[in-house]
């Protein structure tokens, strides 16, 4: 176990995924015996046979969620039942075993209670929880694994991207992230593996992130990297927040879903619809689109400044983070850190 000084220094270092807490949860599954009891063990490496299925055929899924320090010193999770349900859906898609919502949340509570000193205290900081599961059958035959291992690790997190600068994006017309019937809706490592070359192409274009379009018509905006997208149309109280509709190829983000509700709470209209590359281009050129941001658990909200594609470069507004983007971000963080009333019963108290 790390001593107090080391822990304090590692939390203060911030970033994302640099240091891990003292413990982890593991839980084994086999077709023969089903789920074993979860175990809370010291954080550390695991040993696997080189012929373990996951290394060869990528049968793996994960989740990402955060535990937030509350004003009274307690700790809460944000909508963990949503992550639990999505984890079960991802499991079903990847032919891995499903775990009940209650049992999934119990593993989170166990680790948070054990390593609660690792939950940072400041707004914008949190303990990022990473549950994941992979195929552990040994052998090179291609079939659904008859064994799996669930694991849960945690890492103190602060800003994922620096929050006060807008990112630039490359709209990829060469690579696609997901097609209907594929794994776009599942949170699986394989989706990310296939996305990295596009991320590299974006960097080559001088852009921070890649924006995905649909696989069929190659014109509909889907997501940005590992985050969902929002477009703000209009200004002030009359603004509408528009996000690409869930067509079966987008990852249904919990942040995305929460913002649909938060927008309404703040008096804005919101809409889920199809948005094309042309809509983006003409929207920012005419000034109808005033702000664009991406959203997800890790970075919460990231403003999007300029977009570059084979068709040219377009800048949103003045290229700086917009006021509604900032307002939504502050409101979400306020709910998560317990400084704004939790009207929708989203917070799940752990400690």
Ligand X SMILES: *Cc1c(COP(=O)(O)O)cnc(C)c1O
Region from 131-139, 222-230, 280-288, 331-339 binding ligand X, contact rule CB under 6 A: 222-230
Residue 296 lies near ligand X (rule: CB under 6 A): yes
Residue 244's DSSP bridge partners are 273
Contact call for residue 64 and ligand X (CB under 6 A): yes
Got the DSSP string for 148-207?
Answer: EEEEEEEEEE--SS-TTSPEEEEE-SS--S--TTSSTTS--HHHHHHHHHHHHHHHHTT-
Q: From CA 87, how far away is CA 95, in angstroms rounded?
A: 12
Q: Is 251 in the site for ligand X (CB under 6 A)?
A: yes
What span, in angstroms and rounded, lies between the C-alpha atoms of 208 and 302? 11
Cβ 297 to ligand X shortest distance, Å: 3
Site for ligand X in 12-51 (CB under 6 A): none
Considering only the stretches 115-123, 226-234, 306-314, 330-338, report the one whose residues sit in contact with ligand X under the rule CB under 6 A.
226-234
Nearer to ligand X, 228 or 306 (CB): 228
Size of the site for ligand X (CB under 6 A): 13
Q: Does 226 bind ligand X (CB under 6 A)?
A: yes
Near ligand X in 254-273, by CB under 6 A: 254-256
What is the SS3 assignment for 80? helix
Of 223, 259, 289, 309, the residue at the interface with ligand X (CB under 6 A) is 223
Report the nearest approach of ligand X to the CB of residue 235 (Å).
Answer: 26
| Cβ–Cβ under 8 Å, residues 64 and 128 | yes
Contact 75, 56 (CB under 8 A): no
- Tell which one of 99, 227, 262, 301 touches ligand X (CB under 6 A): 227
Burial of 33 (C-beta count, 10 Å sphere; 0-12/13-18/19+): exposed
Q: Which helix or strand (DSSP H or E) is residue 330 part of?
A: helix 323-336
Q: How many alpha carbons lie under 13 Å from residue 222 in its C-beta half-sphere?
A: 28
Query: Is 226 or 321 the residue whose CB approaches ligand X more closely?
Result: 226
Return the half-sphere exposure (C-beta side, CA atoms, 13 A cut-off) of residue 193.
Answer: 11
Give whichever of 151 and 210 is closer to ligand X, judged by the CB atom.
210
* Smallest gap from residue 53 Cβ to ligand X (A): 22
Q: Which of 9, 7, 349, 18 is nearest to 159 (CA)?
A: 18
Which of 107, 209, 228, 306 is close enough to bind ligand X by CB under 6 A? 228
Q: In the complex with ligand X, which residue's Cβ is closer, 84 or 111?
A: 84
Q: Is 189 in the site for ligand X (CB under 6 A)?
A: no
Q: Which of 23, 66, 187, 308 binds ligand X (CB under 6 A)?
A: 187
- What are the residues binding ligand X (CB under 6 A)? 64, 187, 223, 226-228, 251, 253-256, 296-297
């Amino acid at each position: 176990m790390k001593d107090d000084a080391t822990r304090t220094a590692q939390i203060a270092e911030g970033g994302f995924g640099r240091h891990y807490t003292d413990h982890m949860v593991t839980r084994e599954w086999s077709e023969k015996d089903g789920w074993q009891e979860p175990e809370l063990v010291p954080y550390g490496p695991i040993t696997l046979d080189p012929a373990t299925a996951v290394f060869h055929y990528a049968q793996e899924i994960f989740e990402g969620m955060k535990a937030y320090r509350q004003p009274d010193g307690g700790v809460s999770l944000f909508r963990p039942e949503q992550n639990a349900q999505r984890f079960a859906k991802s499991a079903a898609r990847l032919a891995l075993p499903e775990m009940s919502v209650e049992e999934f949340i119990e593993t989170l509570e166990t680790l948070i209670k054990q390593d609660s000193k690792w939950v940072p205290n400041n707004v914008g900081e949190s303990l990022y929880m990473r549950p994941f599961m992979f195929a552990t059958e040994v052998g090179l035959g291609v079939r659904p694994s008859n064994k799996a291992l669930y694991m849960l690790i945690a890492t103190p997190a602060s800003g994922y991207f620096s929050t006060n600068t807008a990112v630039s994006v490359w709209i990829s017309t060469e690579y696609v992230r997901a097609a209907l019937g594929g794994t776009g809706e599942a949170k699986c490592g394989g989706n990310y593996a296939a996305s990295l070359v596009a991320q590299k192409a974006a960097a080559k274009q001088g852009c921070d992130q890649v924006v995905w379009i649909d696989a069929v018509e190659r014109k509909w905006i889907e997501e940005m990297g590992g985050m969902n997208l929002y477009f703000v149309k209009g200004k002030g109280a009359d603004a509408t927040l528009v996000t690409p509709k869930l067509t079966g190829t987008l990852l249904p983000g919990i942040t995305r879903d929460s913002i649909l509700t938060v927008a309404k709470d703040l008096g804005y209209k919101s809409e889920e619809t199809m948005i094309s590359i042309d809509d983006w281009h003409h929207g920012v050129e005419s000034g109808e689109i005033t702000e664009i941001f991406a959203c997800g658990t890790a970075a919460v909200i990231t403003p999007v400044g300029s977009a570059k594609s084979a068709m040219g470069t377009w800048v949103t507004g003045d290229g700086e983070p917009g006021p509604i983007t900032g307002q939504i971000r502050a409101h979400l963080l306020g709910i998560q850190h317990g400084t704004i009333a939790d009207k929708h019963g989203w917070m799940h108290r752990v400690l």
